[in-house]
Amino acid sequence: MRCPFCGNVDTQVKDSRPAEDHVAIRRRRFCAACAGRFTTYERVQLRDLTVLKSNGRREDFDRTKLERSVKIALQKRVSDAERVDQMISGIVRRLESMGDAEVSSKQIGEIVMETLARLDTVAYVRFASVYRNFQAVDDFDKFMAELRPDTKKED
């Protein structure tokens, strides 16, 4: 594995242990060239996924991108990294199991929202507000009302 800091390809594994309830192997790596330390994860990949974006273009599914957007949504809400990793693995597993090698960015967004809604309401709203690109405050209020079914909706 190439060192992300200096590009040296000869890095050493210092420690390997199961993570995410044995869904992944976490490896601590060390680069002797620059003394950099980094972590890699080994995971089962059931299939190669292609993402069909809303502009019609296709790109390889990238777990890191998904992770980034989910982590932004979860900032200062859910800090348990292990739990977040498990959640992301769950999303990826669902995408892989959908029976199609191609998924739309819309489908990914829906699954992420569904998962976040179960985990943390604030994170869900954050993600949804970006994802759905709410432009009118009015829409956002309606959305918030939907989130709390026990609150009385104004007619």
Binding to Zn ion by residue 32, rule CB under 5 A? no
Binding to Zn ion by residue 90, rule CB under 5 A? no
Binding to Zn ion by residue 6, rule CB under 5 A? yes
Binding to Zn ion by residue 46, rule CB under 5 A? no
Q: Which amino acid is at 53?
A: K
Binding to Zn ion by residue 5, rule CB under 5 A? yes
Q: Alpha helices of 36-80 — where are they, by DSSP H?
A: 63-74
How many residues at the interface with Zn ion, by CB under 5 A? 8
CA within 13 Å, CB half, 12: 7
Judged by CB under 5 A, which of 10, 16, 34, 53 binds Zn ion? 34
The nearest distance, CB 104 to Zn ion, in angstroms, is 38
Neighbouring C-beta atoms of residue 51, cutoff 10 Å: 19
The nearest distance, CB 16 to Zn ion, in angstroms, is 19
Nearest to 91 by CA among 123, 68, 114: 114
Piece of the chain touching Zn ion by CB under 5 A; list 26-34, 54-62, 71-79, 139-147:
26-34
Q: Residue 109 is encoded by which pair of tokens?
A: 């967004």
Beta strands in the chain (DSSP E): 11-19, 24-31, 37-43, 50-52, 58-60, 102-104
Binding to Zn ion by residue 36, rule CB under 5 A? yes
Binding to Zn ion by residue 70, rule CB under 5 A? no
Contact positions vs Zn ion (CB under 5 A):
3, 5-6, 8, 31, 33-34, 36
